[in-house]
Amino acid sequence: MTAYDRLTARFARIATVHEASAMLSWDGAAMMPPGGAAARGDQLAVLAGLAHGLLTAPDVADDFAAASAGDDPWHSANLRLMRHAHIRATAVPADLIEAQARANSACEKIWREARRTSDFAAVAPSLAEVVNLTRQYADALGPVVGLSPYDALMDGFQRGIGAADVAPVFDAYRVFLAEALPRAEARQAARPTPTRPQGPFAPDVQEALCRRLSAAAGLEPEHSRLDRSAHPFCGGTPTDVRITTRYREDDFSQSLMGVMHETGHALYERGLPTAYARQPVGETAGMAAHESQSLIVEMQACRSDAYLSWLGPLLLESFPGDPDAYTTSNLGALWRRVERGFIRVDADEMTYPAHVILRFRLEQGLVAGDLAVADLPGAWNDGMRALLGIVPPDDARGCLQDIHWYDGAFGYFPSYTLGAMAAAQLMAAAKRDTPGLDEQLAAGDLRPLVGWLRRHVHGRGSLLGFNDLLREATGKPLDPSDFTAHLTARYLE
């Protein structure tokens, strides 16, 4: 075997360990009884340590010194990404990796109950330990990769994108929102109040419809599962994708659109290049790219008038009631309603970036040590007041609502809004390239859109960085004006 072959074999083993961790994490969120939490934390910590040990073994550096990928662009990119992973791994001691895995797992389990009871004090000590270990990790990694501590964390989710890239985009959006939101609210207030479908809506019926819509979008049941969890997510592996949602008996829209969001993530995983499975170049292009795929399905496609005209009759079939509640215009008024709300995952696409901007600011303060964990609830409330003019009545609807920080994910939140902006840009390009796309959506057929995404995003793996991927697919790097143009057309015209 050549040095490059030895590296690819090693990275395939590392990827397999990560796959095992992914399945244990899914089980912990969807199936595991509460009493298994401590043992599960140990299991995940050991697997994290094993993967780290495989990546940092002494002979790996020798193979990198000798490895050559030739002229093949995929192999060259793979070698470059392997080096990047090795550099990041060797910058951090293995005992810190295991300590983080244990702390994150323990904190996430405490968060579940703290969120339910709105008791920030119950989880604050565990979160403080997660933040402390995150700082240690970022402080060790940053100098080695030539980035600030926070940028080093961001780099782990979306390579090549740092706070200096994101801040001006977010500042410009904040200015847009301050002008656009009152206009959208006034336009909305001048229209008749939409009719809300009357429940209760049985969770089992919602689940059956969710499965039907996900399968119709192209997610194969033989390679996927749909289950329930406290926080909807997509996990698993490319050949065994696990998506989850939660159900409310008084409102089916959250589960329905949540599943279509996670289906977008799952379709991305299913469309990755199989020739490079378990290799860095065969993975997704980063979390901003991942979010673009969930949002192009949920927000761009499934909330469009074309798709809603097909969905309405299915809803009436599943949830008999007033037919006027399921017309295209009424569903559009309900599901494209602009509203200043407390919960990020329930936010409309115009106010959603404000939730991300808040978290972007706060997590930078936490990582830098400028914001103490004990002061997080107050800082959260102040930020919500400044951005949206509202203050959450309790911490469950404030700083406890997201799983991410309590599970150790810092630097991730910017990916949500970068993904929304990329989704608008990709949809504009897909419509230019695919005549009749709206007609296909009106027939409930997402295959033309998914086929375009397979060619331009999914099948490209990590061959290209975020901006280069967008440039190849759309002719330009990230252009936030496509997002604001989309919002203007949908909410202000």
Q: Is the peptide bond before 200 cis (omega within 30 degrees of 0)?
A: yes
Q: What confidence category does residue 346 fall into, taking pLDDT thresholds of 50, 70 and 90? A: confident
- Residue 448 clears pLDDT 90, i.e. is over it: yes
Task: Pick the closest to residue 339 from 206, 188, 148 (CA basis).
Answer: 188
Q: What average pLDDT does range 193-213 have in this prediction? A: 95
**pLDDT above 70 covers what percent of the chain?**
100
The enclosing H or E element of 47 equals: helix 37-56
Look at residue 230 in the predicted model and tell me its pLDDT: 80
Q: Among 149, 260, 154, 152, which Cα is nearest to 213's? A: 260
Does the pLDDT at position 41 exceed 90? Answer: no
Average pLDDT over residues 156-171: 96
The owner of tokens 């309900």 is 334
Q: pLDDT value at position 285?
A: 97
Distances (CA, A) of 483 to 176, 238, 445: 11, 29, 24
pLDDT cut 90: percent of the chain above it: 95
Lowest mean pLDDT among 21-25, 93-97, 383-387, 465-469: 93-97
Q: What is the mean pLDDT of the chain?
A: 96
pLDDT band with cut points at 50, 70 and 90 for residue 140? very high
Give the pair of three-digit tokens for residue 311: 């969905």
Whether the pTM exceeds 0.75: the reply is: yes
Token digits of residue 451: 């086929």
pLDDT band at 5 (very low <50, low <70, confident <90, very high): very high
> If we measure between CA atoms, which residue out of 262, 228, 222, 257 comes closest to residue 245?
228
CA distances from 158 to 105, 208, 319, 327 (A): 23, 35, 41, 40
* Residue 122: pLDDT band with limits 50, 70, 90: very high
Token digits of residue 318: 């599943």
Rounded average pLDDT over 438-466? 96
What CA–CA distance (Å, rounded) separates 14 from 10? 6
Element (H or E) spanning 48, and its range? helix 37-56
The confidence score (pLDDT) of residue 16 equals 98
* pLDDT band, very low/low/confident/very high, at 113 (cuts 50, 70, 90): very high
Give 217's DSSP letter: T
Kindly indicate the confidence band of residue 199, based on its pLDDT and cuts at 50, 70 and 90. Answer: confident
Tens digits of per-residue pLDDT, 395-414? 999 999 999 999 999 999 99
Q: What SS3 class is residue 225? A: strand
**pLDDT computed for residue 239 by the predictor:** 97
Which residue, 155, 158, 149, is CA-closest to 368?
149
Choose the weakest-confidence range: 225-234, 263-272, 434-443. 225-234
CA 259 – CA 266 distance, rounded (Å): 10
Catalytic residue among 98, 108, 129, 262, which? 262
Residue 302 is classified by DSSP as T
262 is catalytic: yes
Cα 471 to Cα 493: distance, rounded to the nearest angstrom = 29
Average pLDDT score over residue span 221-247: 94
List beta partners, residue 237. Answer: 240
DSSP letters for 309-366: HHHHHHHHHHS-S-GGGGSHHHHHHHHT-----S-GGG--TTTHHHHHHHHHHHHHHH
Q: Of the candidates 8, 99, 86, 88, which has an alpha carbon nearest to the alpha carbon of residue 48? A: 99
Listed residue (101, 103, 127) closest to 371, CA to CA: 127
Nearest to 372 by CA among 386, 359, 362, 360: 362
Looking at residue 94, what is its pLDDT? 86
> Predicted confidence band at 114 (pLDDT cuts at 50, 70, 90)?
very high
pLDDT for 65 equals 96
| pLDDT tier for residue 345 given thresholds of 50, 70 and 90 | confident
pLDDT at 68: 94
